């Protein structure tokens, strides 16, 4: 049976359809995936020119095509997604699902492989990377991961992959990469007003072998190995970028890692009354913003902030102290409850964002489960302070990176 | 949409988006960072400090209702808003208390100055900020546009409770404020909200009719081109178009309509689907689409176009050429109109953006729906005529940001 799941869209003015392909993460695969994705975003056999393809999408009421690779733990997911205005919103008989899908799958299935398009893609990737890294917080994040995965080089860059591969790859390599891609596990997901019609249209055209293979995997997570590391680098910026990475045991129950990490992130830096927001921003006056992210597939709780360089040591101390307090069981019950409620609100609000609903469908398909928003909320609500303490006790500071 | 104009001059509207869970309520002030104020960054500092109340930080009370609050300061507006799922009756008075009461002390101001100083440092570390800042400094010297909306490191240290009180008194009164709500509200809820808003605006805001802040004019510097040094791998080019006052044009289009028209014309000439962009990519001049924005303010109107390139001189020359002489045909214009219509439909799915946009247009006595209708009926010849007049009355400025070594 073809891997297709199209859900009904009851309220949005736009619809979304995506084809997702999964392949193992290594720096070469990621680099080639980036090149292919940029080439396909630019042009195709159907629209053999950058402005031709851009105009074709604009003609379809500015349909938003996104083609890019994204890393999930030890896997790369190649996204081919299209967000378009639901035809019912437009009184144009020539604008319908069949025409939209013809364009979408035409772009995906019939890439244009020519040297000038390849040259352009390489050049674009190099520029995008340079611009991205010119922002100090991005540069610091990139360096953080290079050190975090210093002993597992296949994972060290989770955005662009090996730049040497990007620089030197040939048309033949990209073509062969694309041909192999058809055999990797793939799934088509969507949210549209008329799911049955859309499923019928897709079914007859999704003929790559990957669409008949199992898409889910239980091997996404990269374990964090205890190997504490500290690095300070010099920069010439107004703010100092501080990133502190706490690893945790990947063999802990999934719910503890996922919801423990989410609640702790919210408890520490979710809103204005959260622990680190109060202590680092309000009390120390050291930062404008502070972020805590639970990167489940990397077994990593990442705390990052742009701070006043004179307050670096005090900020680090506050972060360590906040984690220690939770691990000791000293949890502010009001803040804990507030963190739970905030997550509940976030989950419910996600139902108002089509792109997040599509991501949720993908996350479930990837992990081989069907966790609804209601079930996620239940897991948050049933999470106890004792469980949060248990999660915090499993954290170990594995990297402290600073760009001054 | 339910709307109400109260005798005090305060206005309110509720935009219904059935089936959406998220609810949004906000108050917008017709006063922002580039309007006249005794100390630069005053409007933004005030935005931060209105959260401080005698009883503590009001955001804690808002969060206790499982709501989240945020604010922003733009050139001529300041907005305070709350997003939530339920308990609108408890949320609404807190929003009015947030905007309608003050508690400024030397101590809480000194504390906030440190936080805003970090916010400013964060913006200044971004290369695109450096280019925009340099362009605005040349186009509108000695104006508040030439300084960041957050102020300067010096002005932050000079802030006092007296200055904040003075700015607040001058700008936060009934005729200068509007309320907007958006989300899955029923008809009954919408009517109840407007009734409650009527009582609250009376309770919290001084009753005073709107005094429009006058438009200002600033003479640009004679230096039209500059090179600055920064931390960039690839040089970043910025082209600023100092647009004429829209009042001086022979057109009956509104400010909002003119802004969109200029954006459409620049997109058609320089955007990712333009022939110019494809040729420039092929020749290696640019790799990724340029960023294009058009802004109108009481202190002046401007467009900023920016992008990275290894040949900054050539890119500057070509952008200038395209602005002045780039040719577009009716089909380009139709495509831009199509994009515009699509964008207006897409916005309906974004509760927060929809509310903010409606509130912003409303301050200029415009409505989103009328604006979209007008753009749809605009003819190609009218489009070209207006654009040509605008370009003839505009001035172009350029900034190239290069790494220290290249400069």
Closest-CA distance of chain A to residue B18, Å: 8
Examine the domain organization and report whether A279 and A351 are in the same domain: yes
Please provide residue B291's backbone torsions phi and psi, each rounded to the nearest 5 degrees: -95, 130
| Burial of A130 per CB tally in 10 Å (0-12, 13-18, 19+) | middle
Q: Which residue has the tokens 């949890």?
A: A331
Query: How far apart are the C-alpha atoms of A66 and A19, rounded to whole Å?
Result: 11
Q: Which residue has the tokens 């290594």?
A: A26
Examine the domain organization and report whether B313 and B398 are in the same domain: yes
- A349 and B CB contact within 8 Å: yes
| Burial of A323 per CB tally in 10 Å (0-12, 13-18, 19+) | buried
Examine the domain organization and report whether B258 and B116 are in the same domain: no
Within-domain flag for A223: no
How many domains would you assign to chain B?
2
Examine the domain organization and report whether B285 and B381 are in the same domain: yes
CA dihedral over B101, B106, B107, B113, signed as positive or negative = positive
Supply A97's token pair.
Answer: 């699902």
For the stretch A25-67, pLDDT in tens is 999 999 999 999 999 999 999 999 998 999 999 999 999 999 9
Q: What is the CATH number of the domain that holds A393?
A: 3.30.830.10
Which has the closest alpha carbon to B40: B149, B130, B129, B123? Answer: B149
Within-domain flag for B217: no
Expressed as residue numbers, the domain containing A288 is 229-403
Query: How far apart are the C-alpha atoms of B38 and B183, rounded to whole Å?
Result: 38
pLDDT value, residue B407: 47
For the stretch B91-111, pLDDT in tens is 999 999 999 999 999 999 999
Within-domain flag for B173: yes
Examine the domain organization and report whether A115 and A201 are in the same domain: yes
Examine the domain organization and report whether B176 and B232 are in the same domain: no
Examine the domain organization and report whether A205 and A283 are in the same domain: no
By CA distance, what is B18's nearest residue in A?
A11
Q: What is the pTM of this model?
A: 0.94
Contact in structure between A145 and A156 (CB atoms under 8 Å): yes
Examine the domain organization and report whether A179 and A66 are in the same domain: yes
pLDDT value, residue B336: 87
Examine the domain organization and report whether B199 and B262 are in the same domain: no
Element (H, E) at A106: helix A97-109
pLDDT of residue B38 exceeding 70? yes
For the stretch A119-157, pLDDT in tens is 999 999 999 999 999 999 999 999 999 999 999 999 999
Which of A160, A182, A212 is the C-terminal boundary of a domain?
A212
* Beta carbons within 10 angstroms of residue A225's beta carbon: 12
- A351 and B CB contact within 8 Å: yes
Helix (H, G, I), strand (E, B) or coil at B290: coil
Mean pLDDT of A347-369: 94
Q: Which residues contact A140 (CB under 8 A, 6 or more apart)?
A: A241, A243, A304, A401, A403
Q: In what order do the strands lie in the sheet with B291-297?
A: B225-230, B395-403, B236-243, B300-308, B291-297
Q: What is the CATH number of the domain that holds B294?
A: 3.30.830.10
Within-domain flag for A376: yes
Query: How far apart are the C-alpha atoms of A292 and A392, rounded to whole Å?
Result: 14
Query: How far apart are the C-alpha atoms of A12 and B346, rounded to whole Å?
Result: 9
Examine the domain organization and report whether A12 and A56 are in the same domain: yes
CA dihedral over A82, A85, A90, A96, signed as positive or negative = positive
Mutation choice for B interface testing from A136, A141, A272 by most B CBs within 10 A: A272
How many domains would you assign to chain A?
2
pLDDT of residue B161 exceeding 80? yes
Which of B170, B204, B238 is the C-terminal boundary of a domain?
B204
Expressed as residue numbers, the domain containing B118 is 2-204
Within-domain flag for B231: yes
For the stretch B15-36, pLDDT in tens is 999 999 999 999 999 999 999 9
Examine the domain organization and report whether A124 and A234 are in the same domain: no
Within-domain flag for A206: yes
H runs (alpha helix) in B88-213: 88-100, 106-124, 127-139, 153-158, 161-171, 187-204
Examine the domain organization and report whether A106 and A139 are in the same domain: yes
Examine the domain organization and report whether B303 and B361 are in the same domain: yes
Which residues of chain A lie closer than 8 angstroms to B64, CB-CB?
Answer: 338
Which has the closest alpha carbon to B25: B186, B193, B195? Answer: B193
By CA distance, what is B332's nearest residue in A?
A55
Examine the domain organization and report whether B244 and B114 are in the same domain: no
Within-domain flag for A221: no
Contact in structure between B271 and B280 (CB atoms under 8 Å): no
pLDDT value, residue B405: 66
Mutation choice for A interface testing from B346, B347, B348, B403 by most A CBs within 10 A: B346
pLDDT value, residue B406: 55
Examine the domain organization and report whether A265 and A392 are in the same domain: yes
Examine the domain organization and report whether B103 and B235 are in the same domain: no
- CA atoms in the 13 A half-sphere facing the CB of A71: 24
Cα radius of gyration rounded to whole Å, chain B: 22
């Amino acid at each position: 049976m073809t891997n297709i799941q199209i859900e009904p869209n009851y309220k949005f003015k736009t619809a979304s359809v995506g084809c997702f392909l999964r392949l193992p993460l290594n720096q070469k695969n990621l680099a080639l995936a980036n090149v292919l994705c940029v080439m396909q975003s630019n042009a195709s056999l159907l629209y053999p020119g950058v402005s031709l393809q851009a105009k074709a999408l604009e003609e379809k009421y500015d349909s938003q095509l996104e083609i890019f690779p994204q890393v999930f733990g030890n896997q790369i997911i190649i996204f081919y997604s299209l967000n378009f205005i639901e035809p019912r919103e437009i009184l144009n008989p020539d604008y319908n699902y069949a025409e939209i899908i013809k364009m979408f799958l035409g772009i995906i299935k019939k890439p244009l492989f020519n040297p000038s398009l390849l040259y352009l893609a390489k050049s674009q990737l190099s520029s995008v990377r340079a611009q991205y890294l010119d922002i100090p917080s991005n540069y610091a994040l990139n360096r953080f991961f290079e050190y975090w995965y210093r002993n597992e080089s296949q994972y060290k860059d989770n955005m662009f992959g090996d730049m040497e591969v990007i620089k030197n790859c040939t048309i033949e390599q990209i073509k062969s990469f694309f041909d192999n891609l058809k055999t990797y596990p793939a799934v088509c997901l969507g949210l549209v007003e008329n799911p049955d019609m859309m499923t019928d249209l897709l079914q007859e055209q999704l003929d790559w072998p990957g669409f008949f293979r199992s898409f889910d995997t239980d091997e996404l997570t990269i374990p964090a190995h205890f190997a504490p590391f500290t690095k300070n680098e010099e920069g010439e910026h107004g703010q100092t970028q501080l990133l502190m990475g706490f690893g945790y045991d990947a063999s802990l129950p999934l719910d503890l890692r996922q919801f423990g990490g989410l609640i702790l992130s919210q408890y520490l830096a979710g809103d204005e009354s959260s622990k680190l927001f109060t202590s680092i921003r309000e009390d120390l006056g050291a930062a404008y913003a502070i972020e805590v992210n639970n990167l489940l597939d990397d077994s990593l709780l990442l705390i990052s902030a742009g701070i006043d360089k004179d307050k670096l040591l005090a900020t680090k101390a506050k972060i360590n102290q906040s984690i220690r307090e939770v691990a000791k069981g000293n949890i502010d019950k009001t803040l804990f409850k507030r963190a739970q409620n905030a997550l509940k609100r976030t989950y419910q609000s996600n139902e108002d964002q089509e792109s997040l609903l599509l991501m949720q469908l993908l996350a479930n398909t990837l992990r081989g489960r069907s966790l609804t928003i209601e079930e996620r909320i239940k897991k948050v609500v049933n999470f106890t302070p004792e469980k949060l303490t248990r999660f915090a006790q499993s954290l170990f500071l594995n990297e402290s990176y600073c760009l001054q | 949409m339910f709307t109400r104009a109260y005798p005090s001059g305060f206005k309110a509207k509720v935009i219904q988006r059935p089936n959406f869970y998220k609810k949004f309520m906000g108050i917008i002030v017709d006063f922002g960072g580039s309007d006249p104020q005794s100390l630069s960054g005053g409007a933004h500092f005030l935005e931060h400090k209105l959260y401080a109340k005698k009883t503590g930080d009001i955001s804690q009370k808002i969060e206790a209702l499982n709501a989240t609050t945020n604010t922003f300061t733009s050139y001529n507006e300041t907005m305070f808003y709350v997003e939530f799922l339920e308990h609108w009756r408890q949320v609404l008075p807190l929003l009015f208390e947030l905007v309608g009461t003050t508690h400024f002390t030397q101590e809480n101001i000194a504390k906030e100055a440190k936080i805003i100083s970090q916010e400013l440092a964060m913006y200044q570390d971004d290369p695109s900020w450096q280019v925009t800042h340099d362009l605005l400094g040349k186009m509108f010297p000695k104006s508040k546009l030439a300084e960041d909306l957050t102020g300067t490191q010096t002005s932050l240290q000079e802030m006092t409770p007296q200055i904040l009180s003075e700015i607040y008194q001058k700008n936060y009164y009934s005729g200068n404020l509007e309320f907007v709500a958006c989300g899955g509200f029923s008809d009954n809820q919408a009517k109840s909200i407007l009734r409650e808003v009527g009582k609250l605006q009376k309770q919290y805001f001084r009753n005073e009719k709107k005094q429009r802040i006058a438009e200002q004019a600033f003479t640009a510097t004679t230096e039209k081109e500059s090179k600055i040094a920064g931390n960039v791998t690839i040089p970043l080019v910025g082209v600023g178009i100092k647009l004429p006052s829209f009042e001086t044009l022979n057109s009956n289009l509104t400010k909002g309509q003119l802004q969109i028209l200029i954006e459409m014309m620049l997109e058609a000439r320089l955007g990712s689907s333009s022939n110019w962009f494809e040729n420039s990519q092929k020749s290696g001049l640019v790799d990724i689409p340029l960023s294009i924005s058009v802004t109108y303010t009481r202190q002046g109107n401007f467009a900023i176009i920016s992008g990275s390139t290894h040949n900054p001189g050539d890119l500057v020359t070509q952008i200038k050429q395209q602005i002045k002489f780039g040719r577009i045909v009716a089909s380009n214009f139709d495509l831009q109109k199509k994009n515009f219509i699509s964008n207006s439909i897409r916005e309906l799915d974004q509760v927060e953006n929809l509310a903010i946009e409606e509130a912003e247009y409303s301050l200029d006595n415009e409505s989103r729906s009328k604006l979209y209708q007008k753009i749809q009926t605009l003819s190609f010849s009218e489009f070209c005529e207006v654009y040509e007049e605008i370009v003839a009355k505009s001035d172009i400025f350029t900034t190239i940001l290069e790494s220290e070594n290249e400069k």
